[in-house]
Amino acid sequence: MAPALELLPKAEDIQALPSKAVNAISNAINGNGAVQFESAEKHQRVLNVFRAFIADLVQQYGDGHPGAPMGMAAIGIALWKYVMKYSPTNCNYFNRDRFVLSNGHACLWQYLFMHLVGVKSMTLDQLKSYHSTDPGSLCPGHPEIENEGVEVTTGPLGQGLANAVGLAMATKNLAATYNKPGHEVVNNMTWCMVGDACLQEGVGLEALSLAGHWRLNNLCVIFDNNNVTCDGTADVANTEDINTKMRATGFEVVDVYDGDSDVVAIVNALNSARHATKPTFINIRTTIGVGSKQAGTADAHGAALGVDEVAKIKRAFGLNPEEHFHIPQDVYDFFADVPSRGKTHEAEWHAAVAKYREAEPVLADEFDLRVAGKMPADWTKCIPAKEDLPTNPTASRKSAFVVTDKLGQNVKNFLVGTADLTPSVNVAYKNKVDFQSPDLKTVCGQTGNYAGRYIHYGIREHAMCSISNGLAAFNKGTFVPITSTYLVFHLYAAAAVRMAALQGLHQIHIATHDSIGVGENGPTHQPIAVPALYRAMPNMLFLRPCDAEETVGAYIAAIEHDTTPSVLALSRQNLTQFPEHSSREGVKKGAYVFVEEEDFDVTLMSVGSEMAYTMAARELLASEGIKARVLSFPCARLFEQQSREYKQSVLKSRAGKPAVAIEAYPSLGWERYADASISQNQWGKSLPCKEVYEHFGFSGPSIAEKVRGFVEEVKREGIESLRGDFRELNGGPSLGVEHPNVH
Amino acid sequence: MAPALELLPKAEDIQALPSKAVNAISNAINGNGAVQFESAEKHQRVLNVFRAFIADLVQQYGDGHPGAPMGMAAIGIALWKYVMKYSPTNCNYFNRDRFVLSNGHACLWQYLFMHLVGVKSMTLDQLKSYHSTDPGSLCPGHPEIENEGVEVTTGPLGQGLANAVGLAMATKNLAATYNKPGHEVVNNMTWCMVGDACLQEGVGLEALSLAGHWRLNNLCVIFDNNNVTCDGTADVANTEDINTKMRATGFEVVDVYDGDSDVVAIVNALNSARHATKPTFINIRTTIGVGSKQAGTADAHGAALGVDEVAKIKRAFGLNPEEHFHIPQDVYDFFADVPSRGKTHEAEWHAAVAKYREAEPVLADEFDLRVAGKMPADWTKCIPAKEDLPTNPTASRKSAFVVTDKLGQNVKNFLVGTADLTPSVNVAYKNKVDFQSPDLKTVCGQTGNYAGRYIHYGIREHAMCSISNGLAAFNKGTFVPITSTYLVFHLYAAAAVRMAALQGLHQIHIATHDSIGVGENGPTHQPIAVPALYRAMPNMLFLRPCDAEETVGAYIAAIEHDTTPSVLALSRQNLTQFPEHSSREGVKKGAYVFVEEEDFDVTLMSVGSEMAYTMAARELLASEGIKARVLSFPCARLFEQQSREYKQSVLKSRAGKPAVAIEAYPSLGWERYADASISQNQWGKSLPCKEVYEHFGFSGPSIAEKVRGFVEEVKREGIESLRGDFRELNGGPSLGVEHPNVH
């Protein structure tokens, strides 16, 4: 048991004492089981070997990042030898402490510690494959989730920090849901290493605000404060008072002044986080590239130090400059106790779960399912049948709610969040409980607790999606985050959603206020061009359903593709329902025949809110003797996964008849399936929904007129005239603006 | 002249006094020319009429945002009547104070004040066109730059705040460049209104850090602190100590406790910003929807208040509930002095410029050019001739530097910045001077001054691009911002770049480390899918040159399109030069014939770093008797602007021969011009540049083999077999991941 908090001196005060004098106090701070520190001399020996090895690794191919791994060596000893609870021989055991390297370019640091503590896959040869031509390397230039011992893929700065907030939330939510007095089956910490960049990037700042608000006292952010960025000293672009700022953001702040070598001070600071009532920010002063002539400068950041310099470093460290990639046995011995301690952690957890099963058999079964990353088998009961869907005009944001409501109420895997658009995005399921710190009740009257699964992210779309990556990465399937905002604000979040697609994380993004149909809010809120990004992105589903049935189909596809993030683009405005044409099975194939027509003159393909205009145009064309078949195209990516036979049966391209795509988004991509398009290749306008569509030529009559002209032209000139001459019936991609800035 | 700062009581302290007692002190604070306040009763009368009018406007069509405009009414009186220096009859006079409404949904507030102070275009009828079906409305749902009196288009939250930082920088830079002792030709303030959201959004937080770092004491951020967001009270997602955080970020902080009615207190607080040595943050407590039953709640935010409620409000305000859209003459009279004061500001500025011209004739000529938004006519001398370009393999990031270097040295319109990648992006022109506060020299040794034009944005891509929007919007052409970062990090900045394209702002984004060629940094840094976004975006040029000559052509296109932002996608790695094929004139047409071939078998089209592999494949194919012509395709958007004749002369689609596109990006969009593609439809890999290309099938032999197979198939099956059957020769768009998250 940890000692009572108020009896402990603050880690901050202890820093003032020489490290040898503080062991007794440290042992108190370090709580359950006093830490048995090795000598300062031994620590220095390990630091020297570690730093020389890093210098060797980067020198090998003359490229990489040596500075931060060398500077952070003492922090690494503190974490991997003394502080973190983990099991190097079973990196994925459920209740492990999570570690995130948000400054991912420092990955060699993590790789080398993984090797030293005995992660099996991280062999000496693997370490040496960093920056090599080996496509099977487990040591890529930034940490990747696929590899043993890596919790999340990091690299784009700030993302890892927000991911860590998600990982800490995951623990809080599970603990509040399943732990019972005397039975803690989830209680891991999340440790996140950051550099200057993560504290400058907006996504990091957003996530820190939330961590402070939520009082995530199981999160410890460790700042490698080396005061150096690529452009020079960090004060070239940053002179803020970070400690004061972090305190104002809701963090405990602890300083460590000698981060280059004072392992004991670092351990004390880190372990103080285990007793904090808030998240902890440890500000550790280090020297980038310490020991090299480039020490303390930007030159140490992203380039090899030089052959001679590496030799010099080794000599200064008392090592043999002729020996490369050398780890003496005594350094291995230093870490030798880690695997057995890891096995003890595992065994303790298994024992706790066994005891829990006796006390709470029902909850334990559910907990098992969560650990296995599974949903309850009857989740499909949350999906409404076609006959239960509305037939009157209904916005797809409302149609989606029918599913969200049931999932939110019944399936604990789903954490449903919004970037402050509860009144608009329709994700607030019945009887929702907010995810909040219970302390907030007295602070400001906010209700909720950590078992709550409705998340108010504030106006922070980027953090929302990046935190969701952390939630999804906690343990595959344990959480399936649902986010919500307007589609246009997904551009704020795109860098995070991209990381989900890259990592194969399962999550569902409810993106409402799709298309120019947004209306009066105007062009700033009309998400022109956003779909192109997600449609081009590998391992991403961008689904744009045309009515309630298709919306249900899109939701099913998003749930079933469990290594792919999905974006559901949903309308603000009411949509005509097509119960006789639309099909959830069709959605799962990406595109399908909506209305067949024998002996047709033209194929019209449409999607989302433009389907109603397309169907209206079909009627008008029919009255003029032009027969149009209609395809619905909610997701081109899914269509591309179908057989060539299926695709041809839908497209009928070889029938020698033209095809026109109709969508109020840029035409980019439609050229694959159509000969012409009626597209929105310019910015939108502030007008009510119906008028903005009409203004830009999206109405039954306007579409019919353009299609008629095109069909007649093709009849006149022959289908072959279309080759390499895609027609923009609504105006092509534009340059310039109507009223350039007049100031 | 303003009184000596140290003699003034702080606005903060004055707040404690009742407002009537502080007029004498206020007059001192308010500096040059004591403010003659009208009575508190008159203020209340104007507030009442203003708020009732807002309620009427939103009630008219039952939609819009009434709450913030009503809550901010007293702030508006302070700004438009007492504090801002501007000229309502000539909104664009050069030295005007800039005002930015970052909480753009509150636009009615700005529109109504513009009407009251006499902005001619803002008639009563115009006000009533808010949310109407009138496509010519000057009152769109968010403020738009095209309209008189609006400095920047705002809406996506946080953007306006960052824009305001750019506007304040613009003033600082011009002032430091042109003002001389006794001659101030530029000295305007920038006032920026923000709500809770702008202070939560990452882009806002990044920009605030920079404003504090740069000590932009001509910037005043005014916080409409109504403690309400869409989800409820702001503390549902935010409980930080904002004042302490802002002080730690480098701001002066001033509180106003009665923002609903104490106009005098607000004026004093605002005017204190004119004497600050730092940027100022005014924290003004207001009540959203004040006067209505929805006051102080989220219900007042984005919905009409109800017919009965509007009537009730009017009665409570002592107004006639039967009168709608009514502004009594005494309220017009209240603002009647504003236009003449505006004319005085203008006249004073013209007089100052005239005096300046006498004292500094050379600088004055240059200043005139800047005011006119022109570059020196000889800027074209900065563009190197083709014969001066390298012929040995050269990275395009280096080729671009030849232009950046000259522009940076010689043309003051260009402000060159980087998101902390000076060593990598090649934009640090010779003899650059950093844009910094001169105070930093003693604080931390950073050199530079406000006349400096090299900007260290820190690791803040989003703020960099959003601040650039402010710089570009200061006065058309006065500044042309150049930004730089890796292309992949443009996803962080995309929401800001989109706003530039929407507004027609001229700026150039140097986006290096294009494509999988990034190499060892791995898939997190390989910008798959990013080009699709910019290629789909209206009014955007995405240019991807293949060698130095094309890079120069791309730069020229970016400079010449002065109402369009451009992204130059440049390689990290060295590129083969093709002086006999590449052409800057070709780039300006978007695509052109790189190698012609009579009686060809296939057309290959390529772009950027893949051109070298394509040309190698062409050689291999030729040796096997397959004749391939080659097109270079640096910018599809420019190609689409060409005549149909030109396009057909390049594509030769009707020759009945197949065409293959070769680019290490997703195939999306190539279907317009090609029948097949060799694309990168999956995420990349951490490998050295050459190996990563090879790994994914980008090499001469691999391309030649795929093209050969395709050509043979087409010969066998006929060109018509390709219709509606686009071929992915390198694997199509993918779903799932190779190694799903194993945890």
pLDDT tens per residue across span B94-103: 999 999 999 9
Least confident of A296-300, B19-23, B49-53, B706-710: B19-23
Query: How far apart are alpha carbons A85 and A101 in whole angstroms?
Result: 16
Higher pLDDT, A681 or B25: A681
What pLDDT, in 10s, does the model give residues B601-637? 999 999 999 999 999 999 999 999 999 999 999 999 9
Helix axes A40-60, A107-117, angle to 10 degrees: 120
The DSSP symbol for B382 reads G
Tell whether A297 is within 8 A of chain B (Cβ): no
Is residue A115 within 8 Å of A334, Cβ to Cβ? no
Residue A435 β-bridge partners: A449
Tally of residues, chain A = 743
Is B687 in Cβ contact with A522 (below 8 Å)? Answer: no
Which of B201, B206, B252, B461 is flagged as catalytic? B461
Q: Which of residues 34-63 of A touch B (CB under 8 A)?
A: 61, 63
Q: Do A735 and B536 touch (CB under 8 A)?
A: no
Contacts B142 to A, Cβ<8 Å: 521-522, 524-525, 686
The model's pLDDT over B627-660, given as tens digits with 9 standing for 90+, comes to: 999 999 999 999 999 999 999 999 999 899 999 9
pLDDT tens for residues A49-87? 999 999 999 999 999 999 999 999 999 999 999 999 999
Task: Give the SS3 label for residue A578.
Answer: coil
> What phi and psi values does residue A571 have, to the nearest 5 degrees?
-80, 150
Which residues in chain B have their CB less than 8 angstroms from residue A669's CB?
Answer: 668-669, 671
Is the per-residue pLDDT at A560 higher than 60? yes
Give the DSSP letter of residue A82: I
Q: Is B497 exposed, middle or buried (0-12, 13-18, 19+ CB in 10 A)?
A: buried
Tens of pLDDT, residues A165-196: 999 999 999 999 999 999 999 999 999 999 99
A736 — pLDDT class (breaks 50, 70, 90): confident
Query: pLDDT (tens digit, 9 = 90+) per residue, B680-710?
Result: 999 999 999 999 999 999 999 999 999 999 9
The predicted pLDDT at position A409 comes to 97
Q: Which two tokens stand for residue B146?
A: 């095209």
Q: What's the CA gap between B237 and B233, in Å, rounded?
A: 9
Structure confidence at residue B5 (pLDDT)? 39
For residues B491 and A495, what is the distance between their CA atoms, to the nearest angstrom? Answer: 5
What confidence score (pLDDT) does residue A737 get? 82
The pLDDT score that the predictor gives to residue A4 is 41
Please report the domains of chain B, with CATH numbers, ordered by start residue.
Answer: 5-27+45-291+307-343 (3.40.50.970), 377-575 (3.40.50.970), 589-728 (3.40.50.920)
Distance CA B283, CA B224 (A): 7
pLDDT band at B262 (very low <50, low <70, confident <90, very high): very high
Question: If you ran DSSP here, which 8-state letter would residue B103 be given?
Answer: S
Residue B26: pLDDT over 70: no
How far apart CA B20 and CA B264 sit, in angstroms, is 8
Q: Give Cβ neighbours of residue B592 (< 8 Å, ≥ 6 apart).
A: B583, B585, B586, B631, B632, B650
Q: Is A306 exposed, middle or buried (0-12, 13-18, 19+ CB in 10 A)?
A: middle
How close does chain B come to A405, measured CA to CA in Å? 18
DSSP string, B1-47: -PPPGGGSPPHHHHTTS-GGGGHHHHHHHT-SS---PPPHHHHHHHH
| Residues near A629 by beta carbon (within 8 Å), at least 6 away in sequence | A593, A595, A596, A597, A600, A602, A603, A604, A652
pLDDT tens for each residue of B286-304: 999 999 999 999 999 989 9
Cα separation values, A686 from A330, A518, B65, Å: 71, 9, 14
Q: Is the pLDDT of residue A653 over 60?
A: yes
Residue A359 above 60 pLDDT? yes
Which positions in chain A touch B209 (Cβ < 8 Å)? 200, 238, 240
What percent of the residues of chain B are helix, what percent strand, and what percent coil, each to the nearest 5? 45, 10, 40
Give the model's confidence band at B332: pLDDT under 50 very low, under 70 low, under 90 confident, else very high: very high
Write the CB contacts of A563 (distance below 8 Å, at least 6 apart in sequence). Answer: A504, A505, A506, A539, B736, B737, B740, B741
Among residues A151, A461, A549, A610, which one is catalytic? A461
Residue B10 pLDDT > 70? no
Residues facing A510 on adjacent strands: A484, A568
- Partners of residue B686 in chain A, C-beta under 8 Å: 137, 140-142, 144
- Is the per-residue pLDDT at A613 higher than 70? yes
Whole-angstrom Cα distance, residue B540 to residue A735? 7
Dihedral-angle region of residue B529 (phi above 0 means left; psi in -120 to 50 means alpha; beta otherwise): left
Average pLDDT for residues B412-424, to the nearest whole number? 97
Of the residues A171, A199, A231, the best mutation for testing chain B's interface (the one with the most B CB atoms within 10 Å of its CB) is A231
Residue B677 tokens read as 């593609």
Binding residues of A: 65, 105, 155-157, 196, 226, 228, 301, 397, 424, 489, 513, 525, 572
pLDDT band at B34 (very low <50, low <70, confident <90, very high): low
Name the residue type at position A555.
Y
Contact A230 B420 (CB under 8 A): yes
Q: Which of A217-221, B81-85, B739-743 has the lowest mean pLDDT?
A: B739-743
**How does the average pLDDT of chain B come out, rounded?**
94
User: pLDDT digits over B529-564, tens only?
Assistant: 999 999 999 999 999 999 999 999 999 999 999 999
Tell whether the model's pLDDT for residue A231 goes beyond 50.
yes
CA distance B157 to B347: 36
Contacts of B601 (CB under 8 A, 6+ apart): B621, B626, B627, B628, B657, B711
| Tens digits of residue pLDDT in A235-276 | 999 999 999 999 999 999 999 999 999 999 999 999 999 999
Give residue B29's pLDDT: 55
Nearest-5° angle of CA A734, CA A740, CA A742?
175
Provide the pLDDT for residue B69: 97
pLDDT tens track for A460-483: 999 999 999 999 999 999 999 999
Instruction: Give the residue-averaged pLDDT of A84-97.
Output: 97
- Distance from the Cα of B629 to chain A's closest Cα (Å) equals 16
Is residue A596 part of the annotated active site? The answer reads no
d(Cα A376, Cα A379) in Å, to the nearest integer?
Answer: 6
Report which residue type is found at B451. A
Q: Is the CB of B376 inside 8 Å of chain A's CB atoms?
A: no
User: Does this complex have an ipTM over 0.85?
Assistant: yes
The DSSP symbol for A3 reads P
H or E, element range at A31: none
Q: Which residue has the higher pLDDT, A34 or A299?
A: A299
Q: Choose the weakest-confidence range: A18-32, A309-323, B586-600.
A: A18-32
Q: Which residue among B245, B457, B504 sits closest to A249, beta carbon to beta carbon?
A: B245
Classify burial at B334, counting beta carbons within 10 Å of its beta carbon; exposed 0-12, middle 13-18, buried 19 or more: buried
DSSP string spanning B610-664? GHHHHHHHHHHHHHTT--EEEEE-S-HHHHHTS-HHHHHHHH-GGGS--EEEE-S
pLDDT range class, residue B44, cuts 50, 70, 90: very high
Do the Cβ atoms of A520 and B742 come within 8 Å? no
Q: What confidence score (pLDDT) does residue A27 get?
A: 53
Position A732: which residue type? G
Contact present, A604 and A658 (Cβ < 8 Å): no
pLDDT at B48 over 80: yes
CB-CB: which of A230, A505, A739 is closest to B146? Answer: A739
Give the global pTM.
0.96
- Structural contact between residues A107 and A101, judged by C-beta atoms closer than 8 angstroms: yes
Average pLDDT on B9-22 reads 50
**Strands B228-229 and B219-225, bridge-based pairing:** unpaired
Chain B residues within an 8 Å CB radius of A422: 230-232
What average pLDDT does range B405-425 have in this prediction?
97
Task: Show the tokens assigned to B105.
Answer: 């949904």
Q: Is pLDDT of B11 > 60? A: no
Query: Which pLDDT score is estimated for B743?
Result: 54
Backbone angles phi, psi at B633, to 5 degrees: -130, 60
Q: Is the pLDDT of residue B359 over 70?
A: yes
Query: pLDDT for A688-733, tens place per residue?
Result: 999 999 999 999 999 999 999 999 999 999 999 999 899 999 999 9
- Contacts of B260 by beta carbon, 8 Å cutoff, 6+ apart: B71, B74, B286, B287, B290
**Euclidean distance between CA atoms A42 and A27, whole angstroms:** 19
pLDDT at B43 over 80: yes
Binding residues of A for thiamine diphosphate: 105, 155-157, 226, 301, 489
Sign for the pseudo-dihedral over CA of B417, B421, B426, B431: positive
A373 to chain B: nearest residue by CA? B743
Question: Is residue B447 less than 8 Å (CB to CB) from chain A?
Answer: no
Is B142–A524 a contact, with Cβ atoms under 8 angstroms apart? yes
Residue B620 touches chain A, beta carbons under 8 Å: no
Tokens found for residue B596: 């012609």
Q: Do A536 and B537 touch (CB under 8 A)?
A: no
Cβ-Cβ contacts under 8 Å, B235 against chain A: 440, 443-446
User: CA B20, B22, B23, B29: dihedral to nearest 10 degrees?
Assistant: -150
> Which of B625, B626, B660, B631 has its CA nearest to residue B648?
B631
Q: C-alpha distances in angstroms, A366 versus A185, A322, A350, A413? A: 13, 58, 16, 11
How distant, in Å, are the alpha carbons of A281, A445, B236, B245, B248 from that of B241?
16, 17, 14, 6, 11
Determine which of A420, A572, A680 to mutate to test the interface with B (most B C-beta atoms within 10 Å).
Answer: A420
State yes or no: pLDDT of B123 exceeds 90. Answer: yes
Residue pairs between chains A and B whose CB atoms are closer than 8 Å: 495
Q: In this model, does residue B1 exceed pLDDT 90?
A: no
pLDDT of amino acid A734: 84
B-chain residues near A494 (CB < 8 A): 491, 494, 533
Binding site membership of B: which residues? 65, 105, 155-157, 196, 226, 228, 301, 397, 424, 489, 513, 525, 572
Chain-centroid distance of CA B414 in Å reads: 15
A446 near B CB under 8 A:
yes
Is the pLDDT assigned to residue B21 strictly greater than 90?
no
pLDDT for B16 beyond 70: no
Mean pLDDT throughout A601-620?
98
Q: Is pLDDT at B309 greater than 80 in this prediction?
A: yes
For residue A408, the number of C-alpha atoms closer than 13 Å in the C-beta half-sphere is 25
Q: What is the mean pLDDT of chain A?
A: 94
CB contact under 8 A, A240 and B738: no
CB atoms within 10 A of CB B494: 25
Predicted pLDDT of residue B386: 97
* % of chain B beyond a pLDDT of 70: 95
Q: How many CB atoms lie within 10 A of CB B341?
A: 16
Check residue B20 and give its pLDDT: 47
pLDDT (0 to 100) of residue B530: 97
- Exposed, middle or buried: residue A39 (CB in 10 Å: 0-12, 13-18, 19+)? exposed
Rg (CA), chain A: 29
pLDDT band at A657 (very low <50, low <70, confident <90, very high): very high
